[in-house]
Every structure is written in structure tokens, then in C-alpha cells.
Structure 1
Amino acid sequence: MKIPRLSSSVALAAGLAAVLHLALPVTARAEAPTDTDLTISGSYLAARFASAERDSDAAVTYLRNLLRLDPRNAEVIERAFFATLVDGQMDEAMKLADRLVKVDRTNRIARLALAVKAIKKSQYQTARTNLSLSVRGPIGDLTATLLAAWTFYGSGNTKGAVELIDRLQGPDWYAPLKALHTGLILDAAGNKKEAGKRLAEAVKLDPGSLRTADAYARWLSRNENDAAAIAALSEFEKAMPNHPLVAAEMKELKAGKALPPLVTTAQEGSAEVLYGLGATLGRQGGEDLALVYLQLATWLDPEHPFASLALADLYEQLKQPQKAIALYETVPAGSPLRRNAEVQLAINLDAIDKPDEARKHLEDIIAADPKDLEAIVALGRIQQSRKMFAECAATYGKAIDLITTPGKGNWALFYFRGICNERSKNWPAAEADLKKALELNPDQPQVLNYLGYSWVDQGINLDQGLDMIRKAVSLRPDDGPIVDSLGWAYYRLGRYDEAVNELERAVELMPQDPVINDHLGDAYWKVGRRLEAGFQWAHARDLKPAPEDLAKIVKKIDNGLDAVDQPAPVRKAEDDKKGG
């Protein structure tokens, strides 16, 4: 049975992110005895390429070489500074920042870095001077103001800190951060009443922020009572249940222990500014600036409970699992976040092609806590990506068994177990799982696509199955794999003209997908467009299909579609089979 295509948005294979290196090492370029201009241009292009590929280690190497060859070039200094900063090489980055501001006085990132360096050394006036000289924009204004406010607090001027933040004008999204940081500054300064007002305002403006809810609960535990703090955390848990940090703090509160302020020093407060903005930028697609902010946050406060995790998460987004692993390993053993870090570490071990080590890591976590749902699901995902379908079905089953009353949010567990059951040739169990997933989330496109295609491919429930695939396409009209499923369903039904129409659209959506190009080649052959069929198969061959698919594609290119086994078209008469 040909497997229905999974939407790219839910594909589970972790995949090893390949790192591309140029053939000639930078040392060989630097030692070339002639044509210095070519060495400079070659290193420059190599550095640009490495930066574009987000290979920060290679970029730093090439840029160091360039600095030796062209030490006064302002652009080279800037690029080298930025590369070393995002790579976390802070001592070198700070030296380059000093060089950069001599040729570009208002460079925003260099001034920010030097300001953070000064805050780290408690040189607060120097920090404010650097912040005042930087080029501004919406993010820059907010960053500079909040950091400057913390330097005022560090200098003993709490009133000046609060007034500076209050004077800041800007877009609406400034308001929650303004309220949070004025509250944190006032709490650190011991101004209990006003701190409580500001933190309560921050929670009202941004009830989904863990750090804001945490700061307010901490204030309540020290200034009102444990019950009020527990109530505040419980309210947050409605939006984000079972957070390990909240669970740990709830335990402390129930034991009658008051919680200390979230931050107590200018350095911690400044790191909180950089962490909060960096994490937000990373989620919204501003990865380069997010790397800058989070590297500075972890450098300023190495024990910040979330900055390292946010940086690791960003490295995952950028397909740099080795760097993510290094950060997850730094989370202290006694931290409530350590278990989360261990789970993510395992996922990244699989991403660097160490699946056995990854699975062992997760199995140890589950052995220590058989109810650890996150670890169980992570193990299932790795098993599924490695085509261990019987094993992943059993693992997802353990996760489902932990859920007393499945709700809409649990549809994916049944969906993924259904896939694992189907691919391990247990169709009755797969069908039951897919139906349950659809019951929990009736308009879920991936489930509609998978179950609908499976029925069509088996020749059962043909009308209902085809309607489900069409509905999936209507819900995700730009999803290439789902459109491909509709085209291939038409193909299986012998409706080749309709198959061509849908498969041509699928190829437009995902032109580099070998399976979709192969499908279109088959459909072209069936409608007599044999030259075009050969072209599509050749294209599919060049797109690196799976080995078993490649052999079939080559046969088709050489001898036509009849050279490979083809399932007979599904006939309408077969719809009386049981199974729906």
C-alpha cells in the first residue's frame, strides 16, 4: 500500500543538519605566497557564505583571517565583531566592539555590547553613555531605556530608574515590559506597596507571561500570604499547566516558604531585559538579534534560569543541535528545569545521528518517572522518525494511557499512534486511532488526509475518504503533501486527468519534492504525455529520493511505467468492503 503523504508542518524526522565547509581551509588561503587580493576576496566570500549558512564557527575563522589581512577595514571589523558575539566568544567580541566604535561611533550593537560589559563591571555611568550613543529604533529605544533604568537602580537612584521608564513613549507592546521592570526595580529596592501595584498591572497586561506571573507570586508570598501567591500561580497554570518551575514554587509555598524577589541586582535585572526581548525576537523570526541578546544575557547572568534554555531553543530552530546540547548540559542538576533540558538534549542527540544514545537517555528519564509524558512522547517521536513503527505505537500507547479523559489537545497522540500502527501493518488499530483523533479534532487536516487517503487506497469508504481529502485540501490549500494526496487518490481511482491537475499544483507548491514529481510523471504517462513523464521522473531522480524509490524511477525512465509493478486502479464497486 502506498503511504499517504504527511504534511510538511508535522513531519517528525529530526534530520541531521549538514554543515557545509569550503574545500580549501583558511590556513591554506592565508599562507598562499601570491595574489593577496585573491586571498582577501576569497576569505571575504567564504565568510559571507558561512554567515549565510549560519556556520558561526567557520565565519569566525574566515573573519579572523580577514582581520589579519585587512585590519583597518570597518566592514570587516563589524562582521568579525558580530560573528564572535553571536558565537558567544565574548572577550574577543568586546575587544572588537571597542575597535568598531572608533570607526562607527553610533553602531547600535557595539554600543549595546559595551554597555553590557560596563554593567557587568558595575560601571553604570559608562553603560549609560554607551546606550545614549547608539542608533535607535523601537527595539533599541526599549532596550536602552530598560537597561539604563537598571543602571540607575545599580547607582542607588530608584526614583530616577522608575521615572525614566515612565517617560518612555512607544507602541502598545511596550506597556507590559514597562510595568514588569518598574515592578522588579521597586521590589528589589524594597518599595513594597508600589512594587505590588506595578507587578499586578504587568500581570493584567500580559497574563500569559511566566516571568511576570512568577515575579508577582514572589511579591505576594513576601508581602501578603502564601495562599495569594498560590492563587496567582494557579491562574497562570490555566494557560500553561504543569510547568516545572511553577510546580517547584507551589511546593515551596505549600511548605510555608516565602519566595525571594525575581531579581536583586542591576546585573540580574539587565539580564532579564535581554532575556525577555531575546526570547520574543527568536519566536518572531528575528534570530540574529535574538542571538545577540541571549548571548549577552547568559554572559551577564550565567545562572539565569531561562536564558540558556532560550538560547538552546534558538539553536534548535537554526538547526545547530550540537550547540543546543552544550547549553542543555549547563542546566544545574538541582534546577526544576533540568528534566526539560534532559528531554531536549535527547532530541538533539538524535538530530546529530546518535539515536541509540538519545533513546537510552529518554528511557532512563522514563524509568525514573514512568508518568513523564513529555519524555514518553519524545521517545515515540524518535522511534517514529527511525521507522521503529511497532515500538513507537507501543510508546504512544503508554502516553495515551496516562490521559484519563482525552480532549481536543490530545488528538496528535492518537494520530501518531495511528500512523505507527498503520506502518506496522496493524490497520484495524490504526483506523481506530485515526477515527479517535478525528473525533477529538474533527477539522484537523492531517488526520482527514491520512484517514481519507488510507480508505481510498484500500478501496473502502471511497466517497467518504475522497471527501475527507478534499476537505483537508480546502483547509490547507497551500500544503503540497496534502494536495499530492488528493492527486494520488484520483490516480488510484483511475481518474487520471483530475490527478494531473492536482499533482501539477502540488509540484508548484513543492517543486523540490521527489515523491510529488514522481507521482506527476506517473499521471502524465497515463494521459499519454510521455515526454513530460520522462522529464518529471528525471527531475525526481535528481532530487535524491529514497533508495527504494530511486530504483523504480530509473526503471521508469529507461522502460516506461509498465516496467514497474503498479497496483490496479481502485474501483467504485469495491466500496462494499467492510472497514469504515
Structure 2
Amino acid sequence: MRYLRSLPLSGLLALALAAPAGAAPSSLGSLYIHARAAEAAGDVREANAGFSALMAQDPANAEIVTHAYRQALSAGDMTLAIRAAHLLDGQPAMPSDARVLLVLEQVKARDWAKAHDATEKLAQDRVFGFLAPYCRAWIAVGSGSGDPIALVEGARGMPLASPYYPQQRALLLIALGRSQEAAGSLGPQAAAQLPASVKGPEHGLSPLLVEVAADFARQQYIPVGMIMARMATYAAPDNDPGWLVLAELLHRMQRSDLALIALNHIAPGGELGANARILRIALLNDDGQHEAALADALAAVKPASAGSDDWGRVGDLQLILSHPAEAAAAYAKALALAEAAHAPPDVLWPILLQQGGALDLAGDWPAAKAALERAYAMAPDQPTVLNQVGYSEIEHRENVDRASAMIAKASNLRPDDPAITDSLGWVLYLQGKAGEAVPLLERAAAGEPGEAAINEHLGDAYWTIGRAYEARYAWRAALLTAEDKDKARLTAKIDTGLDKATAAP
């Protein structure tokens, strides 16, 4: 099976359970069903409204209030989240992160006495207590009472807190008007990232929460990281890094809808504008909005500063939209820019593979073959290259012996790759060895059960060895995910069986 790179994709699971618009459930049970159904359907506004009504009717129900708190945080309804946090305050069910939110609420309100009390409660928490020394220091900055630098020293001896100490101490120094001292306390690279000023305590705590969010994400605690990033943006809504981290984590949680909303907070012309645009393109594509994603990608290549990666994204989206000629042209521009920048071979050969695949789909096999051969010359031991070049030649029934050897080598280098295993099986099938091909194609289908090409190959092999029932089952599986251009061929095979006209290409 050929290699064609695509944008990062993830699926948003949408459930059908939802109450009619405008319905007004009166009982607690029906309110709960309505809120959960809206939550499952991704209707953030309706879900938040439902949980708000539930809390009003039964504020002592810790299970409902906790669920409302989590839903509100994920959706960014911080008013509802704070209401829920206050209802949970003092209860065993109170989430640890709610302690952080209550501190931030008082810091933003400039109520330093309440902020101090909330911080002392946070200090007792086993999960997020390590944030307390930083909160104390920033409260001292805001209130003008106490020595922030002395207070932040409490973080140095705490294993969980100490990694954040250098940045936090530097930001505190800046807030106190000691910018030169702040820069001198860090290495040149870190010092260059420091802001010119810190507007207030919440703008000092927000970068801390962004770093904490990133650390949780690196440890694969994605939901916890998302909550910390959400709190960072609550503390300082103009903190672009916070919104970018939040969007990335929501994307990883398969909440592209909420991630797109988060990206809207990042200024297009700001330092992170390009990063936000790249993620936005992936999110739109992920959400099935391929035309919108392509429009954004095309807008990104209009400036003269557009790079190879920008044109590569255009090519990827043109392929997804079945525009192979346009994709090939985009890859040609990506390749030219990469070569002009003296990019190494491991950057060039993936572009050449994409260009070759697009040219082949566009009907220009000679140009496709030239691009693929260039990729092979650059990376003769790369399994992906061996498989793509070999499979393409097999499709065109050229150099079958050399192509077979390439695919066999690719399989030896990467035996568990379903695409390569499919190619190996398909070569055997085309050589008249359908019986030997079937186990390989079965293994490939088990590894990639949703891949149409693999299932079609398996169906053709099954039919050839007389297993008609299993062949139709495989073709039906292929039909589920097949491209439009392949559906008529698959349908004909399912109806009447395999013949020369309906054989897989």
C-alpha cells in the first residue's frame, strides 16, 4: 500500500442522545438526563445551562456539583466552575484543582485576605500544595505586604515546586522593578524570553500554570494538564501561550470544537500566530472541514515568507480533497523551498514520496516515477521509501522482481507495519500465490481494520482461493471507508463477484 502523509487526525465522538431544543425539564432526574445528553452531544451551552439549573435545585448533591465543575472547566465556563467550587469547598468530594481556582478568583478580585486564606487551604492539598509558595509570593506583590522574594524561597526545597523556581523568581523581580537582576538570574536563552513587565499577580501565576499544564501533559495526564491550562487562561486571558497549550490539550482530548474556540483568543499577528494557524488547520481538517482547512492553508502560503512546511500542508489537504494535480504542484513548491534552504535528505525524501504519489494519482506516471526514484536514491534503506517505490511499480506492473525485493526488505526492517505487510501480501497475490498472500493480508487487515485498500486486497485474495463469503465480508468492510471513486468497483464485486474489470488496481 502506498505511503501518503496526511495531517494529524482525531475523531470527535458525537452521540445522538439529546432533549428537544427549548424543552424545560422540571424534575431533577429529567434535568440530569438533559444535561448529560447535551454534554455527550457536544452542546456546551446547553450542558452548562443544565448543570447550572441542577446545582440551583440540589446544591448539596456533591456528585452533581462535581460533575458540573468538571463540565464547566472543560467548556471554559469559569463562572459556573467557581460557583461549583464554592459549593464543594470543605467537602471531601472537593477536587484538588478547585483549590487553585479559588485562589485565582480572589487574586483577580484583589481581595488579598481571602486570597491568603485560600492559599493556606491550598497548601494542605497533597496534589497542588506545591503551588502555595508561589501564590504567597504573588499575593505579597499585590498586597504590598511581605517580601515576595523571601516567600518564594519556600519553593526551592519542594521537589514538585523547585523546577518552576527560576522562572517564577525572575518574574517576581520584574514585577518589583528589578528587571536587570531578573535577567542576570537566568541563562541568556531563558532571559531572552522574559517579558518587559508583569502587569499583576495573575500575570505572574498564569505562566506558572502553563508550565505545570505542559508538565502534566508530558506525563500523559492530559485532562489534568487541560485544567491547569484552562486556569492559566482564566488568570490572564491575554496569555497566548496558555491558549495554545489549552488548544493542543483539548485537541488531544478529541474536543476540536473547544480547541478552535481557544485558538480564537490568540492574536493572528502575535508571536504564536503561526503556531495557532498550523493547529487550526489540523483541527479544521480533523473536524471534517477540509475546504475551510485548505482555505487557511492557502492563506498561509500567500506571504513571501511561506516555507516548505506551509506548502506541504497545502499538498496534504489537496490530496485529502482528491485534487492530486494541485497537490503535486504544492509539493513541488515545498521541495523547491526545502532544497533552496539546503534541507537534509530526511526532510527531502518525504516530500518526494508525497509528490510522487500525487503525480501518480494525477495520471503522470513518468514524472511520479522520477520523483520516487529520487527519494529511493536518498534513502535506500528507509522502509517507507522501499514500500512506496516498490508498491507503485507493482501497481504499474513494472520491474516486478526489483519491486518485490524492495517490499521484502521493507518488511524485514519493519515487520509489524500493516501497510508494508499488505504490500508484501499483494505482491504474492499478483504473482499467482493467493494462498500464501492470505495470511499476510489478514495480518495487515488486523493491524489496520479501517483501511479500505487492505480490506479490498484481502477480499480479492479470498475470492481467488474460493472463500466467497469471506471475500464479500472483506469488500463490505472496504466499502465503509473507501473513497468515492472506488465504491462502484467494490459494490460490483459484492454483487457479482471478482472479475478482471473489478480487480483491485
CA 1:560–1:69: 2 relative to 1, 3 Å: farther
Q: Distance in 2 between matches of 1:489 and 1:147?
A: 65
Deviation at 1:296, TM superposition (A): 1.3
Deviations 1:508-560 (A, max 9, x none): 2233444433322222222233343344334445x453444444334333433
Provide structure 2 residue ranges, at least 5 long, that are not aligned to the other structure. Answer: none
**How many residue pairs get matched?**
499
Deviations 1:321-369 (A, max 9, x none): 4444433333335523334434544554555555555444444443332
User: Is 1:88 paired with 2:76?
Assistant: yes
2:164 alignment counterpart: 177
CA 1:418–1:103: 2 relative to 1, 3 Å: same
Provide structure 1 residue ranges, at least 5 long, that are not aligned to the other structure. Answer: 204-212, 220-258, 569-580
Q: Runs of 4 or more off by more than 6 Å in structure 1?
A: none
1:199 alignment counterpart: 186
The answer to whether the Cα contact below 8 Å between 2:103 and 2:115 also exists between their aligned partners in 1 is yes
Q: Distance in 1 between matches of 2:360 and 2:126?
A: 53
What is the aligned-residue RMSD (CA, Å)? 3.5
Deviations 1:73-92 (A, max 9, x none): 21110010111112111112
User: Is 1:330 paired with 2:318?
Assistant: no
1:39 alignment counterpart: 30
1:297 alignment counterpart: 232
Q: Distance in 2 between matches of 1:148 and 1:410?
A: 52
User: Which letter maps to 1:313?
Assistant: E
User: Which letter maps to 2:68?
Assistant: A
1:260 alignment counterpart: 196
After TM superposition, the score normalised by the length of structure 2 is 0.85
The answer to whether the Cα contact below 8 Å between 1:278 and 1:289 also exists between their aligned partners in 2 is yes
User: Is 1:500 paired with 2:438?
Assistant: yes
User: Is 1:306 paired with 2:241?
Assistant: yes
The answer to whether the Cα contact below 8 Å between 2:386 and 2:409 also exists between their aligned partners in 1 is yes
Q: Distance in 2 between matches of 1:175 and 1:411?
A: 43
Which of 315, 318, 331 is residue 396 of structure 1 equivalent to? 331
User: Is 1:116 paired with 2:104?
Assistant: yes
The answer to whether the Cα contact below 8 Å between 2:387 and 2:423 also exists between their aligned partners in 1 is yes
Which of 347, 370, 388 is residue 450 of structure 1 equivalent to? 388
User: Which letter maps to 1:260?
Assistant: A
Which secondary structure state, in structure 1, belongs to the residue aligned with residue 208 of structure 2? helix
Which of 152, 155, 158 is residue 148 of structure 2 equivalent to? 158
1:77 alignment counterpart: 65
Q: Distance in 2 between matches of 1:116 and 1:474?
A: 56
2:17 alignment counterpart: 22
The answer to whether the Cα contact below 8 Å between 1:414 and 1:436 also exists between their aligned partners in 2 is yes
User: Is 1:555 paired with 2:492?
Assistant: yes
Alignment of 1:229-378 (within 5 A): 260-261=196-197, 263=198, 265-282=200-217, 284-332=219-267, 334-352=269-287, 354-369=289-304, 371-378=306-313
User: Which letter maps to 1:301?
Assistant: A
Q: Distance in 2 between matches of 1:529 and 1:362?
A: 46
Q: Distance in 2 between matches of 1:424 and 1:69?
A: 62
CA 1:136–1:13: 2 relative to 1, 3 Å: closer
Q: Distance in 2 between matches of 1:128 and 1:433?
A: 65
CA 1:63–1:520: 2 relative to 1, 3 Å: farther
Alignment of 1:119-134 (within 5 A): 119-134=107-122
Alignment of 1:193-232 (within 5 A): 195-196=182-183, 198-200=185-187, 213=189, 215-217=190-192
Deviations 1:191-225 (A, max 9, x none): 5686456422xx8xxxxxxxxx3x41267xxxxxx
Alignment of 1:505-516 (within 5 A): 505-516=443-454
CA 1:437–1:379: 2 relative to 1, 3 Å: same
Deviations 1:22-47 (A, max 9, x none): 2533754715xxxx576367447636
1:231 alignment counterpart: none
Q: Distance in 1 between matches of 2:366 and 2:343?
A: 20
Q: Distance in 2 between matches of 1:476 and 1:61?
A: 51
Deviation at 1:454, TM superposition (A): 1.0
CA 1:58–1:554: 2 relative to 1, 3 Å: farther
CA 1:498–1:175: 2 relative to 1, 3 Å: farther
CA 1:442–1:323: 2 relative to 1, 3 Å: farther
Deviations 1:93-138 (A, max 9, x none): 1111101214337530211111111222233453354344357456
The answer to whether the Cα contact below 8 Å between 1:188 and 1:265 also exists between their aligned partners in 2 is yes
The answer to whether the Cα contact below 8 Å between 1:347 and 1:378 also exists between their aligned partners in 2 is no
Which secondary structure state, in structure 2, belongs to the residue aligned with residue 167 of structure 1? coil
Deviations 1:451-510 (A, max 9, x none): 121122223333432333234334444433332222222222222223111111122223
After TM superposition, the score normalised by the length of structure 1 is 0.75
CA 1:40–1:332: 2 relative to 1, 3 Å: closer
CA 1:130–1:482: 2 relative to 1, 3 Å: farther
Deviation at 1:394, TM superposition (A): 0.9
Deviation at 1:307, TM superposition (A): 1.4
Identity of aligned residues (%): 30
Which of 499, 513, 523 is residue 461 of structure 2 equivalent to? 523
Deviation at 1:272, TM superposition (A): 0.2
